[in-house]
Amino acid sequence: MKNWFATWFNTPYYHLLYKDRNYSEAEYFIKHLLQHLKPTEEAIFLDVACGKGRHSKFIHQNGFNIHGIDLSIESITEASKNNCESLHFQQHDMRETYIENHFDYALNLFTSFGYFETNNDNQKAINAMVKNLKKGGKLIIDFMNTKKVVLNLVEHEVKVIENISFHIERKVENGYILKDIRFTDNGKKHYYQEKVQALELRDFSQYFQKAGLNIINLWGDYELKDFDVSQSNRLIIVAQK
């Protein structure tokens, strides 16, 4: 049986439901991130689980060489329309090394982690990201602030997009945040479930320690303000190889 993300992310309904994701927010975050990182002109970036490449494109627009990888062939097909010598997208499993010791920065943004069934797979993904980095390279992970998400969970919601009513239910179960998505299109009923581990800073700290990473920055939003476990919307971690 396929993992949920391998199926759901490759459907047109996934891209329809999330079509209004905030591009200006992504650009805002990348702008602040680059200002802080101060990469050299020769720096090479890797966007892990890049989706359709919105973050990669903004980094490229700022003059940097970047590769984007994602398991979803539909996302990569769309992202690849922008391929050029310094902007490259490729289908790839984040648990496997992409290009060893090649990148100055590896990015995993917008809660694109915690999808796997085992901590072993999580560790494999972190290990692969580290192997892709040069010595001294930095890994940036942008994850939800799980504690705040759980406290403010919207249990029931209906979104109507292009005459399709998406009925969404959320719950926390066995260490995962689950989102059940049901809808009918052309008389056919559909059901998908998103399943993301309720990971916290201590979990990432353990993965990083085993992978030989040292945490050097912790932020709680896209303005790069300090992380506050009760108030911050995001958990953004910068770790160095």
Nearest CA among 221, 54, 48, 75 for reference residue 138: 48
- Using the predicted structure, report yes or no on whether residue 34 has a pLDDT greater than 50: yes
One domain, residues 118 and 14: yes
* Residues 183 and 208 grouped into a single domain: no
| Shared-domain flag, residues 173 and 203 | no
Q: State how many domains the chain has.
A: 2
Please state the rounded mean pLDDT for residues 39-59. Answer: 96
In whole angstroms, give the CA distance from residue 166 to residue 68: 29
231: phi then psi, degrees, rounded to nearest 5: -115, -30
Q: Are residues 73 and 52 in the same domain?
A: yes
Question: Does 16 lie in the same domain as 37?
Answer: yes
Q: Do residues 129 and 182 both lie within one domain?
A: no
Q: Per residue in 200-236, pLDDT tens? A: 999 999 999 999 999 999 999 999 999 999 999 999 9
Look up the domain containing 88 and give its range. 4-144+199-240
Q: Within 10 Å of residue 71's Cβ, how many Cβ atoms?
A: 18
Q: Are residues 21 and 39 in the same domain?
A: yes
Position 170 scores a pLDDT of 97
In a shared domain, residues 178 and 215: no
Do 208 and 89 belong together in one domain?
yes
Q: pLDDT band for 1, please (50, 70, 90 cuts).
A: very low
Give the pLDDT mean for 9-14. Answer: 88
Q: pLDDT band at 76, cuts 50/70/90?
A: very high
* 150-183 pLDDT per residue, tens: 999 999 999 999 999 999 999 999 999 999 999 9
Q: What percent of the chain has pLDDT over 70?
A: 99
| DSSP secondary structure of 190-235 | EEEEEEEE---HHHHHHHHHHHT-EEEEEESSTT-PBP-TTT-SEE
Same domain, 78 and 131: yes
pLDDT at 96 over 70: yes
Q: Do 179 and 210 sit in the same domain of this protein?
A: no
Q: Residue 10: is its pLDDT beyond 90?
A: no
CATH number at residue 58: 3.40.50.150
Mean pLDDT of 58-64: 97
In terms of pTM, does the model score above 0.75?
yes
163 and 77: one domain? no
